[in-house]
Chains A and B, each alone.
Chain A
Amino acid sequence: MTAPVIEVRNLKTYFKTSGGIAKAVDGVSFSIPKGGTFALVGESGCGKSVTALSVIQLIDSASGYIAGGEVLLNGSDITKLGEKEKRKIRGNKISMIFQEPMTSLNPVFTVGNQIEEAICLHQRKTAKDARALALDMLKKVRFANPEEIYDEYPHRLSGGMRQRVMIAIALSCKPDLLIADEPTTALDVTIQDEILKLIKELKDTMGTAVLLITHNLALVANNADTVCVMYAGKIVESAPTAELFKKPLHPYTQKLLSSVPAISMRGKLLDTIPGTVPSATAYADGCRFSGRCHREMQGCKTIEPVLVENEERHFIACHLFDAVFLAGVNSTHVTRAEAYLPHIKNALVKGGAIVEARGLKTWYPIRKGLLKRVKGYVKAVDGIDLTIKKGETLALVGESGSGKTTAGKSIIRLISATSGEVVFQGRDILKLGGKEMQGVKPLMQIIFQDPYSSLNPRLTVKEIIEEGLIILKPGLDRKRRLKKIGASLEQVGLSADMMSRYPHEFSGGQRQRVGIARALAVDPEFIVCDEAVSALDVSVQAQILNLLKEIQREAGLSYLFITHDLGVVEYIADEVAVMYNGKIVESGPTEEIFLRPRHEYTQKLLSAVPRL
Chain B
Amino acid sequence: MLSYILRRVLYAVPIIIGVNVITALLFFYVNTPENMARKILGEKNVTPSAIENWKQDHGYNLPPFLNVKEKGLSVVTQTIFFQKAVPLLWFDFGRSDRNNIDIGSEIKTRMWPSLAISLPMFTAGVFIDLFFAMLLAYYRGTRFDISAVVFCVMMMSVSTLFYIIGGQYFLGKLLKLFPISGFDTGVHSAKFLILPVVVGVISGAGVGIRFYRTVFLEEVSKDYVRTARAKGLSEGKVLFKHALKNAMIPVLTNVVVSIPFLFYGSLIMETFFSIPGLGNFTIDAIQSQDFAIVRSMVYLGSILYIIGLILTDISYTLVDPRVIFE
Contacts and interface: CB of A to CB of B under 8 A. Distances in A.
Interface string B1-39: 001001100000000000000000000000000000000
B226 A98 contact: yes
B232 A98 contact: no
A166 B227 contact: yes
B3 A104 contact: no
Contacts of A118: 231-232
B321 A62 contact: no
A107 interface: yes
B218 interface: no
A58 B322 contact: no
Nearest to B243: A106
Contact of A87 (B7, B233, B319): B233
Interface string A315-351: 0000000000000000000000000000000000000
B233 A121 contact: yes
B13 to A, nearest CB: 14
A129 interface: no
Contact of A108 (B140, B319, B326): B319
Interface string A77-114: 00000000001111110011010100111111100000
Interface in A198-239: none
A422 interface: no
Given A118-B232, A169-B231, A107 B224 contact: yes
Contacts of B184: none
A117 B233 contact: yes
A96 B230 contact: yes
A520 to B, nearest CB: 36
Contacts of B320: 107-108
Contacts of B321: 107-108, 153, 155
Contact of A62 (B141, B229, B233, B246): B141
A104 B226 contact: yes
B230 A58 contact: yes
A124 interface: no
Contact of A121 (B7, B231, B242): B231
Contacts of B322: 107, 153, 155
A153 B324 CA distance: 13
Interface string B89-128: 0000000000000000000000000000000000000000
B53 interface: no
Contacts of B140: 62
A478 interface: no
B149 to A, nearest CB: 15
Given A62-B140, A155-B321, A369-B3, A106 B231 contact: no
22 contacts: A62-B140, A87-B234, A89-B232, A90-B229, A90-B230, A91-B232, A91-B233, A95-B230, A100-B223, A103-B223, A105-B227, A106-B228, A107-B246, A107-B320, A108-B319, A108-B320, A108-B321, A117-B233, A121-B232, A153-B321, A169-B227, A169-B231
B173 interface: no
Given A87-B233, A106-B246, 6 more contacts: A56-B230, A58-B226, A62-B141, A87-B234, A105-B224, A370-B3
Interface in B134-177: 140-141
Contacts of A91: 230-233
Nearest to A366: B326
Interface in A48-62: 56, 58, 62
Nearest to A172: B231
Contacts of B224: 103-107
Contacts of B141: 62
Kindly list the 4 A-B residue pairs having the minimum CB-CB distance in the complex, ordered from nearest.
A91-B232, A90-B232, A91-B231, A103-B223
Contacts of B227: 98, 104-106, 166, 169
Nearest to A106: B224
A162 to B, nearest CB: 11
B188 interface: no
A128 interface: no
Contacts of B69: none
Interface of B: 3, 6-7, 140-141, 222-224, 226-234, 242, 245-246, 319-322, 326
Interface string A147-174: 0000001010000000000100100000
A575 to B, nearest CB: 39
A407 to B, nearest CB: 28
Contacts of A246: none
A370 B6 contact: yes
Interface string A344-372: 00000000000000000000000011101
Contact of B246 (A96, A108, A169, A369): A108
B239 to A, nearest CB: 13
B326 A98 contact: no
A104 B231 CA distance: 12
Most buried by A among B140, B226, B229, B231: B231
Contacts of A166: 227
A530 to B, nearest CB: 25
Contacts of B228: 106, 117
A301 interface: no
Interface in A506-534: none
Contact of B231 (A90, A98, A153, A372): A90
A372 to B, nearest CB: 8
Nearest to A93: B232
A155 B246 CA distance: 14
A372 B245 CA distance: 31
A122 B245 CA distance: 23
Contacts of B229: 58, 90
A58 B226 CA distance: 8
Nearest to A121: B232
A89 to B, nearest CB: 7
A100 B224 CA distance: 10
B228 to A, nearest CB: 7
Contacts of B319: 108
A92 B246 contact: no
Most buried by A among B222, B224, B245, B319: B224
Contacts of B7: 370, 372
